[in-house]
Structure 1
């Protein structure tokens, strides 16, 4: 694997995406190309368009659409494609170890990393804190282990793919907006082709979990029901997994609705769950319906 492209979809976080792009300059094995896809000029206003190796574009909003735009821009010019969220801080060894792992395992189609911390389950992690923690981690463990866990598929904030293994695949644009579970669907498409996916111990980083720019409340609650059922019907998410996800989310929203975490709109999510369940009874449940809420 000789050439890498990193694709970052961004929306509403111009300063943050600039910081992440700058941080990628410290990789021990830099990418040949960084592609940032925003939804409006303000999203990419902080990025220097004349920076060598950086491609900046504006396209239709929606995570799958933006990632597909990135894939089209990359084409077949790169042996590997890496997706980072605009709030993910990778170890400076991330790209180097991804290339090493793909070379050591020719049957691997996709890799995802092992998180030092994930702010999506909390109010979020400050960028400066994450940068310091990742730098300290790299200093303490300059050459992390190479263990693989094949039970895991790609996790959207940090995932890498062998280009040859995903040729002709795309992120499902029926999953609009923030597109919950679009990573699981993409991984499921790879598995149906007979590709192998794994989580790598060597690929470390911190997901800030910033809430700005994400879909919350009512819409996310609807997607918590609509998206798993749609993907189960499509065959990219096993039905037992889809059922477990829905049950866990509805239960959590019910239990915590009266005493919601300050960073989570549990009442809104629960309302979205109820709207989706009603749509099932009416025969009109569809992931796209979230855009009408």
Structure 2
């Protein structure tokens, strides 16, 4: 009887700007994994984005141009294929302590899978945000049942960027689109669409966590509103977003921003988003698909 094969190596890349406390929290949870990540790469725009050295001990640091796609690409460049699987977690994501172990098992057991997105136990992105303490309690309650069964697999076109992972061997030549500047809205869909041409992209219960939806360090309302129009159209022309998805995203956000601007949420700049929406349309009428223009707004 042969010896059991070694688990697949899972590296983790975290891109972050202006949120050192978030980095410290997720690194602490990565250190508590039942299977240690083979590498933890922190991709930041400046040294001031990092927590104290003791809170990032054992992590690799890369300084990159500010923006989620550029920072993730810098992480991939440092990784240089030195892993079997690469996971991208948002800095405000609290992963299950089994996440790395079950990611390793998932990709080992399903060689046809090229990319996967996990189960989000709770998501604060459309709320004021989830406090870290509550997120940790939710993850602890989930983990008290032991590792997930990994029975749920559903083929999907796009993966959710807060917790997604890819088979490194299939990423040759692929990078996140750096024309999607700053927060890089829909960069996860664009990247997953490219990977899906090389293998299955799935949603699964194999790994889980809570997305805090922390509001600090995010793109301004005007910039996000502009991206809500320009980015789907740009990806539609590029061929990485389906027409139905693009029009649904634009129409839903356009209507929501206008309606909610009458009673805006305290944590959302609805007036800024409305202005950004119309700036996006104005550029479209001028024949411009320029998602990178948000850096000028």
TM-score if structure 2 supplies the norm length? 0.94
TM-superposed CA distance for 1:18, in Å, is 1.0
Q: Give 1:59 deviation, angstroms.
A: 1.6
CA RMSD of aligned residues (A): 1.3
Q: Does 1:265 align with 2:256?
A: no
- Unaligned runs of 5+ residues in structure 2 are 1-6
| Structure 1 partner of 2:101 | 96
Quick check: 1:4 aligned with 2:10? yes
Task: Out of 151-160 and 271-280, give the one that drifted further.
Answer: 151-160
Mean CA deviation greater in 166-175 or 151-160 = 151-160
1:19 corresponds to = 25
| Equivalent residue in structure 1 for 2:227, among 223, 230, 238 | 223
What is residue 238 of structure 2 aligned with on the other side? Answer: 234
Equivalence for 2:52: 46
Gaps of 5+ in 1: none
Q: Does residue 109 of structure 2 align to residue 120 of structure 1?
A: no
Match of 1:35 in 2: 41
Query: How far is the alpha carbon of 1:214 from its aligned partner?
Result: 0.7
| Corresponding residue number in structure 1 for 2:64 | 59
Deviations 1:66-97 (A, max 9, x none): 00000000012111101011000010111111
> How many Å separate the matches in 1 of 2:204 and 2:232?
25
Corresponding residue pairs, total: 290
Q: Where in structure 2 are the equivalents of 1:171-182 lying within 5 Å?
A: 171-182=176-187
- Separation in 2, partners of 1:152, 1:133: 28
Q: Please give the alpha-carbon distance, in whole angstroms, between the structure 2 residues aligned to 1:174 and 1:88.
A: 25
Give distance in 2, aligned partners of 1:38 and 1:267: 30
- Tell me the CA shift for residue 162 of structure 1: 0.3
Answer whether contact 2:65 2:71 (CA < 8 A) is retained. yes
Separation in 1 of the partners of 2:164 and 2:97? Answer: 15
Instruction: Provide the rounded CA distance (Å) in 1 between the counterparts of 2:224 and 2:267.
Output: 14
Give CA-to-partner distance per residue, 1:255-281, whole Å, 9 cap, x none.
111101111111110110011111111
Deviation sequence 1:138-159 (CA, Å, 0-9, x none): 11x2122211111353211101
Map of 2:3 onto structure 1: none
Q: Please name the residue that 1:250 is paired with.
A: 254
CA distance in 2, matches of 1:41, 1:151: 37
Query: How far, CA to CA, are the matches of 2:63 and 2:283 in structure 1?
Result: 34
2:160 aligned residue (137, 155, 170): 155
2:213 is aligned, of 202, 209, 213, to 209
Normalized against structure 1, the TM-score is what?
0.96
1:49 deviates by 8.6
Cα distance in structure 1, aligned partners of 2:216 and 2:56: 27
Instruction: Please name the residue that 2:281 is paired with.
Output: 277
* More displaced stretch, 196-205 vs 143-152: 143-152
The answer to whether the 8 A contact 2:8-2:105 is kept is no
1:195 aligns with 2:237: no
